[in-house]
C-alpha cells in the first residue's frame, strides 16, 4: 500500500488548491442563489428604471413617477450624474428618465415637453421606454378630451384627468402559465452544476496530474523499478487512490449542492444532475491520468491545467450560459467533454416529465463522456508504456 | 556594468519559459477565451424579435384593431418591428409553445384577450404589455368618441361627419409619436471591463519578472546574488539595471497584448492613444513596484514570492471585476476605499473612464493614484535594501 499512501501524502500537501476551488464554487454558486422565491404564477418582469425629477412632485409629474415606480424595480443610486452614469454602464439601471422643471404646468397648459432619457439598449431598456411612452401617449390623449377652449386643463379637470389615466392604465390582460416546472430553482441547480465543471477540472485534474507526475520522476521511477512490488500493483494502487479521491471530491460537491440549492435536489431532476456530474468526474479523472503520464514538469502542469479548465469552462458555457455563446464557439466546443456535461445539465432543466423519450435526449451525451474517458485511458496507457520502454 | 547586467537579465528572463508563459502567453489565451465567451452577450441582452402566435378564430378575423396592430408590429420592413406573428389553430399554438418555437400565444374570446406562456420573462412581459395596450387604447378611443360627439351635440351640431371623426381619433390614439431625447453616452459595452482587467492582470503579473530579476542580485537569495555582492560595484546600480530590464520585458509583453486585443479582438480603449499608453506605462510601473517590494521585503524563496504576487494580482482583479463585472460596481459603490487602494482597479477604472467619460478628471485621478502607489512601494523597497551588509550568510 506504499503507493496508495504516498498518493494521499502528496494530496495532503496540496490540499490548499482543493480548498480554494471549493470556496470559489461556494462563493459563485451561492452568489447566484439569492434570487427571488419561486412561483408558478405569472410575474411580470420589472425593469430597473431611475427617475430624476427636477419638477415639484405633484399633479401629472407625481402620477408619472408613481406609474413608473409601480412597474419597475426600485433602485438606490447616489444623487449625482457620475453615479447615475456608472449605474447605467454596469446595468444596475437600464433606463433613466429626467423630468424637466415645470413639467406639470407645461403639460396642463397644453405644451408637449420632450423628456430626456438615458438607455443602455437592453430588452429591459426597450420595455422601460414602452412604459414611459405609453403613459405619455395616454396622458396626451386624455388631455385632448378634457382641455377647455384655450387648450388648457382647468383645476377641477386635473384630478379627473389623472384618475382617468390611471383607470385606463390599470386594465390587465389575463395570463396563463402552462409549465409546472419550478424554473427558478432548476436554473439555480443548472448554474451550480455548470460551475462544478470548472472546480472539478481546476482542482481534481490539477492535483491528480501533479501527484501522478511526481511518480514519473526519473529517480522515483528507478527506485520503484528496483523494488519487489510489481509495476502492475503500483498502477492498481494509484488507480484506486485516484478513484477514491475523485469520489470523495464529487461527494462533497453533491453534498454542497443539497445545502445550497435545497429541495429541488430531491426530485428526479436532482438525481439526473448528480448522475451526470458523477460521469463527468470520472471523465475528468481520466484526463488527469493522461496529463500526469504525458507531462512531468510541475510548472507546465499548472499552465496546461489552467488553460484546459478555463478554456472548457468559457467555451462550453460554465460561466456564460450556453444560449449566449456564439454558434461558432459552440461548434468548437463539441470536441471537449465539458460540452456534453453542460448541455446535459441544460437539458435536465427543461425536462417537464421524465420518461423514455426525454431520457433519450440525455443518455447519448453521457455515452459520449464515457467514450472520452475510455479514449483518455487508452492514450495514457499507450504513452506510459512507450515511456517505460524508452527508459 | 549597468548595460552588462541589463543585457544578461534580459536574456535570463526571456529564457525562462514558465515565466514567459504566465506573463506573455497566458493573458493572450485568456483574452481569446473572454472574446469567445462574451462577444455575443450584449446582442443577446438587447431586444430581439419575439416569436408569437395568435389563435385564429372568427372573432380575431373580425377584430380590425388587433389584426392591424400586430400586422404593423410584425412588419419586416419596419425599424420598430417587435414580433414575428403567425396565425394558427389552438392545438398548433400549444405545440409551438411546447417546442419553444414561440414564447407565447394570444387567444381572443368574447372580446377578452388571453395570453398563454410557458414561463416568465421579459419577452413574455412585453407581449402581455402590448396586448394590454391595445385594450387600453380601444378604451381611450371609445372615451374620445363619446366626448367628441356629445361636444358636437351641445353646440347644436347634429350633422356629424363620423368618418372624419373616426380617422382623427384613431390617428391621435395610435399614431401619436412620443418623442424622447436620448442623451446617453454611446460607449456602453460593459464587457470591455473584462479586457481592461486583463490588461491590469498583465501589468501586475509583471511583478513576477521583477522578483526573479532582483533575486539574482540579492546576496541572501541566490548564488548569483552572492557573486554580485562581492563585486566592487555599486549595488543600487546593479539592482536598478535588473529592475529596468524587467520593466522593459514587461513593456514588450503588454505591447504584444495591446496589439492583439486591438487588432484581433477589437477591444475599444477610447480614442486617445497617448493617454492609453501613459496608463499602461504607469500600470506596468505599479506591477514592477509590487515586484520589488515583495522581492526585497519578504525573506522567503522565489516560489513563495511568486505565489504572493499571483495572489495579490488575482484578488485585485477579482475586486475590479475580472470574474464578474458587477463585482467592480458593487465594491466601487459600497466600499469605494478598497478599489481606491487596489492597483488593478486603478488600471481598470482608468481605461473605463477613458472609454466611457468625456472628461478626464477620473482618468487623471487613477493615473496619479498609480504613480503614488508605485512611488511608495519603491521607496520602502529602497530603504530596506540600502546599506545591507552580511558578515556571513
Same domain, A23 and A81: no
Confidence (pLDDT) at A41: 66
When mean pLDDT is compared across A118-122, A156-160, B197-201, the lowest value belongs to A156-160
Does residue A116 sit within a domain? Answer: yes
Interchain CB distance below 8 Å, B136 and A138:
yes
Q: Is the pLDDT of residue B162 over 80?
A: no
Does residue A225 sit within a domain?
A: yes
**Residue % of chain A over a pLDDT of 90:** 44
Looking at the structure, tell me whether residues A154 and A11 fall in a common domain. Answer: no
- Coil, helix or strand for A34? coil
pTM for the model stands at 0.87
Q: Give the percent of chain B with pLDDT over 70.
A: 99
Say if strands B112-117 and A115-119 run parallel, antiparallel, or are unpaired: unpaired
What's residue A36's pLDDT?
A: 44
pLDDT band at B157 (very low <50, low <70, confident <90, very high): confident
pLDDT tens digits, residue range A171-212?
888 888 887 777 778 888 898 999 999 999 999 999 999 898
CA–CA separation, B53 and A79 (whole Å): 44
User: Which of A:53-82 have CB within 8 Å of B?
Assistant: 78, 82
Taking only the tens place, the pLDDT of each residue in A73-99 is 888 899 999 999 999 999 999 999 999
- Tell me: pLDDT of A38 over 50: no
Q: What is the pLDDT of residues A8-29, one digit of tens each?
A: 999 998 888 889 889 888 888 7
**Predicted local distance difference test score (pLDDT) of residue B320:** 92
Q: Name the pLDDT band for A66 (thresholds 50, 70, 90).
A: very high
Inform me whether the pLDDT recorded for B159 exceeds 80. Answer: no
- How many domains does chain A contain in total? 2
Mean of pLDDT values over B272-297: 94
pLDDT at A39 over 60: no
Which whole-number Å values give the CA distances from A205 to A63, A285, A295, B34, in the listed order? 60, 6, 13, 22
Written as nine digits, the cell of B228 is 554580485
- For chains A and B, what is the number of CB pairs under 8 angstroms? 202
Domain B49-174 has CATH 1.25.40: no
Query: Which helix (DSSP H) or strand (DSSP E) does residue B180 occupy?
Result: strand B180-182
| Residue B308: all three cell numbers together | 504572493
- Chain A residues with CB under 8 Å of B126 CB are 123, 126-127, 130
Which of residues A352 and B73 earns the better pLDDT score? B73
Q: How far apart are CA B101 and CA B85, in angstroms?
A: 11
Structural contact between residues A93 and A50, judged by C-beta atoms closer than 8 angstroms: yes
Mean pLDDT of chain B: 89
A21 in the same domain as A80: no
Q: How much is the ipTM here? A: 0.87
Give the CATH number, domain containing residue A92.
3.40.1710
Q: Searching chain B, which residue's CA lies closest to the CA of residue A122?
A: B46
Same domain, A148 and A190: no
User: Is residue A9 domain-resident?
Assistant: yes
Strands A174-177 and B112-117: parallel
Asked if A183 reaches chain B (Cβ–Cβ under 8 Å), the answer is: yes
CA–chain centroid gap for A324, Å, is 11
Q: What is the pLDDT of residue A40?
A: 57
| pLDDT at B269 (0 to 100) | 92
What pLDDT is attached to residue A37? 44
* Residue A42 or A130, more confident: A130
- Do the chains contact at B36 and A314, CB–CB below 8 Å? yes
Do A90 and B326 make contact, defined as CB atoms within 8 angstroms?
yes
Residue pair A302/A203 in contact by the 8 Å Cβ criterion: no
pLDDT tier, A379 (very low <50, low <70, confident <90, very high otherwise): very high
Do residues A191 and A116 share a domain?
no
Whether residue A203 sits in one domain with residue A126: no
Radius of gyration in angstroms for the set of CA atoms belonging to chain A, rounded to a whole number: 30
> Which grid coordinates are listed for B73?
408590429
Determine whether A159 is exposed, middle or buried from the number of CB atoms within 10 Å of its CB (0-12, 13-18, 19+): exposed
Q: Is A228 among the domain residues? A: yes
Is position A44 within any domain? no
C-alpha span between A325 and B39 (Å, rounded): 8
Mean pLDDT across the stretch A366-381?
Answer: 94
The reply to whether A215 and A350 lie within a common domain is: yes
User: B184 vs A118: CB contact, 8 Å cut-off?
Assistant: yes
d(CA A272, CA B187): 43
Q: How many CB atoms lie within 10 A of CB B127?
A: 25
In a domain, A76, yes or no: yes
Q: What is the DSSP string of B340-379?
A: HH-HHHHHHHHHHHHHH-SSSHHHHHHHHHHHHHHHHHHH
State the alpha helices, DSSP H only, in chain A: 2-13, 15-31, 59-70, 81-89, 103-108, 123-146, 155-169, 183-199, 206-215, 218-226, 231-261, 268-294, 298-316, 327-333, 337-350, 356-390
Structural domain includes residue A177: no
Q: Do B140 and A141 touch (CB under 8 A)?
A: yes
Same domain, A326 and A195: yes
Instruction: Compute the average pLDDT of residues A130-150.
Output: 85
A-chain residue closest to B329, CA distance? A90
Per-residue pLDDT, averaged over B240-262, amounts to 94
Unique residue bearing C-alpha cell 501613459: B278
Instruction: Give the residue, A380 or B147, on which the prediction is more confident.
Output: A380
In the sheet that holds A174-177, the strands lie side by side as: A174-177, B112-117, B104-109, B50-55, B83-88
Q: Is residue A143 in some structural domain?
A: yes
| CA-wise closest residue to A338 among A314, A361, A362, A359 | A314
Average pLDDT of span B85-110: 89
Confidence of residue A271 (pLDDT cuts 50, 70, 90): very high
Domain ranges within chain B, ordered by starting residue: 2-39+193-385, 49-174
Q: Average pLDDT of B304-317?
A: 89
pLDDT score of A121 more than 90: no
CB of B120 closer than 8 Å to CB of A43: yes
Answer yes or no: is pLDDT of B366 > 70: yes
Structural domain span for residue A28: 2-37+182-390
Calculate what percentage of chain B has a pLDDT beyond 90. 45
Amino acid at each position: 500500500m506504499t503507493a496508495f499512501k504516498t498518493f494521499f501524502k502528496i494530496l495532503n500537501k496540496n490540499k490548499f488548491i482543493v480548498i480554494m476551488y471549493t470556496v470559489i464554487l461556494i462563493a459563485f454558486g451561492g452568489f447566484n442563489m439569492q434570487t427571488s422565491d419561486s412561483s408558478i404564477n405569472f410575474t411580470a418582469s420589472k425593469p430597473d428604471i431611475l427617475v430624476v425629477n427636477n419638477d415639484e412632485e405633484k399633479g401629472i409629474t407625481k402620477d408619472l413617477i408613481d406609474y413608473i415606480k409601480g412597474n419597475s424595480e426600485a433602485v438606490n443610486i447616489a444623487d449625482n450624474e457620475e453615479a447615475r452614469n456608472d449605474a447605467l454602464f454596469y446595468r444596475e439601471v437600464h433606463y433613466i428618465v429626467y423630468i424637466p422643471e415645470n413639467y406639470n404646468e407645461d403639460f396642463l397648459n397644453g405644451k408637449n415637453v420632450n423628456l430626456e432619457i438615458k438607455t443602455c439598449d437592453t430588452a429591459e431598456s426597450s420595455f422601460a421606454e414602452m412604459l414611459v411612452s405609453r403613459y405619455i401617449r395616454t396622458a396626451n390623449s386624455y388631455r385632448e378630451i378634457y382641455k377647455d377652449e384655450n387648450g388648457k386643463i382647468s383645476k377641477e379637470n386635473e384630478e379627473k384627468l389623472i384618475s382617468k389615466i390611471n383607470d385606463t392604465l390599470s386594465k390587465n390582460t389575463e395570463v396563463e402559465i402552462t409549465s409546472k416546472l419550478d424554473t427558478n430553482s432548476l436554473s439555480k441547480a443548472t448554474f451550480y452544476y455548470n460551475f462544478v465543471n470548472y472546480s472539478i477540472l481546476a482542482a481534481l485534474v490539477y492535483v491528480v496530474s501533479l501527484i501522478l507526475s511526481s511518480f514519473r520522476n526519473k529517480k522515483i521511477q528507478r527506485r520503484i523499478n528496483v523494488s519487489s512490488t510489481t509495476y502492475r500493483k503500483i498502477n492498481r494502487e494509484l488507480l484506486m487512490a485516484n478513484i477514491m479521491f475523485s469520489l470523495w471530491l464529487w461527494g462533497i460537491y453533491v453534498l454542497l449542492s443539497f445545502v445550497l440549492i435545497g429541495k429541488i435536489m430531491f426530485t428526479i431532476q436532482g438525481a439526473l444532475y448528480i448522475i451526470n456530474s458523477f460521469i463527468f468526474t470520472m471523465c475528468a479523472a481520466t484526463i488527469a491520468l493522461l496529463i500526469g503520464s504525458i507531462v512531468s514538469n510541475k510548472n507546465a502542469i499548472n499552465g496546461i491545467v489552467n488553460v484546459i479548465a478555463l478554456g472548457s469552462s468559457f467555451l462550453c458555457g460554465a460561466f456564460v450560459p450556453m444560449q449566449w455563446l456564439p454558434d461558432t464557439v459552440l461548434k468548437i466546443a463539441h470536441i471537449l467533454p465539458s460540452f456534453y456535461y453542460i448541455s446535459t445539465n441544460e437539458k435536465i432543466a427543461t425536462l417537464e416529465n421524465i420518461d423514455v423519450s426525454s431520457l433519450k435526449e440525455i443518455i447519448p451525451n453521457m455515452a459520449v463522456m464515457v467514450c472520452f474517458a475510455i479514449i483518455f485511458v487508452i492514450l495514457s496507457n499507450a504513452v506510459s508504456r512507450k515511456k517505460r520502454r524508452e527508459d | 556594468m549597468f548595460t552588462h547586467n541589463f543585457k544578461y537579465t534580459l536574456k535570463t528572463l526571456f529564457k525562462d519559459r514558465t515565466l514567459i508563459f504566465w506573463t506573455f502567453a497566458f493573458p493572450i489565451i485568456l483574452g481569446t477565451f473572454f472574446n469567445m465567451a462574451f462577444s455575443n452577450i450584449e446582442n443577446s441582452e438587447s431586444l430581439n424579435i419575439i416569436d408569437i402566435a395568435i389563435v385564429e378564430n372568427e372573432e380575431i378575423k373580425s377584430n380590425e384593431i388587433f389584426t392591424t396592430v400586430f400586422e404593423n408590429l410584425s412588419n419586416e420592413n419596419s425599424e420598430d418591428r417587435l414580433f414575428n406573428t403567425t396565425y394558427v389553430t389552438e392545438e398548433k399554438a400549444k405545440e409551438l409553445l411546447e417546442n419553444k418555437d414561440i414564447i407565447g400565444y394570444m387567444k381572443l374570446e368574447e372580446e377578452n384577450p388571453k395570453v398563454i406562456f410557458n414561463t416568465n420573462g421579459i419577452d413574455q412581459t412585453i407581449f402581455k404589455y402590448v396586448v394590454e395596450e391595445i385594450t387600453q387604447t380601444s378604451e381611450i378611443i371609445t372615451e374620445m368618441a363619446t366626448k367628441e360627439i356629445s361636444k358636437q351635440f351641445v353646440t347644436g351640431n347634429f350633422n356629424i361627419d363620423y368618418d372624419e371623426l373616426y380617422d382623427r381619433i384613431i390617428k391621435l390614439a395610435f399614431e401619436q409619436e412620443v418623442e424622447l431625447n436620448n442623451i446617453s453616452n454611446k460607449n456602453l459595452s460593459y464587457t470591455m471591463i473584462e479586457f481592461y482587467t486583463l490588461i491590469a492582470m498583465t501589468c501586475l503579473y509583471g511583478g513576477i519578472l521583477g522578483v526573479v530579476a532582483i533575486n539574482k542580485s540579492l546576496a541572501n537569495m541566490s548564488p548569483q546574488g552572492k557573486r554580485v555582492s562581492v563585486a566592487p560595484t555599486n549595488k543600487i546600480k546593479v539592482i536598478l539595471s535588473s529592475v529596468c530590464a524587467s520593466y522593459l520585458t514587461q513593456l514588450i509583453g503588454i505591447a504584444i497584448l495591446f496589439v492583439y486585443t486591438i487588432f484581433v479582438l477589437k477591444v475599444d480603449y477610447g480614442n486617445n492613444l497617448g493617454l492609453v499608453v501613459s496608463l499602461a506605462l504607469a500600470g506596468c510601473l505599479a506591477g514592477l513596484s509590487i515586484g520589488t517590494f515583495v522581492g526585497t521585503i519578504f525573506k522567503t524563496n522565489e516560489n513563495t514570492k511568486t505565489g504572493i504576487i499571483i495572489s495579490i494580482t488575482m484578488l485585485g482583479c477579482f475586486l475590479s471585476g475580472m470574474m464578474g463585472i458587477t463585482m467592480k460596481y458593487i465594491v466601487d459603490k459600497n466600499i469605494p476605499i478598497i478599489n481606491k487602494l487596489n492597483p488593478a482597479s486603478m488600471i481598470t477604472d482608468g481605461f473605463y473612464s477613458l472609454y466611457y467619460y468625456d472628461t478626464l478628471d477620473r482618468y487623471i485621478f487613477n493615473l496619479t493614484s498609480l504613480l503614488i502607489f508605485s512611488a511608495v512601494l519603491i521607496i520602502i523597497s529602497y530603504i530596506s535594501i540600502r546599506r545591507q551588509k552580511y558578515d556571513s550568510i
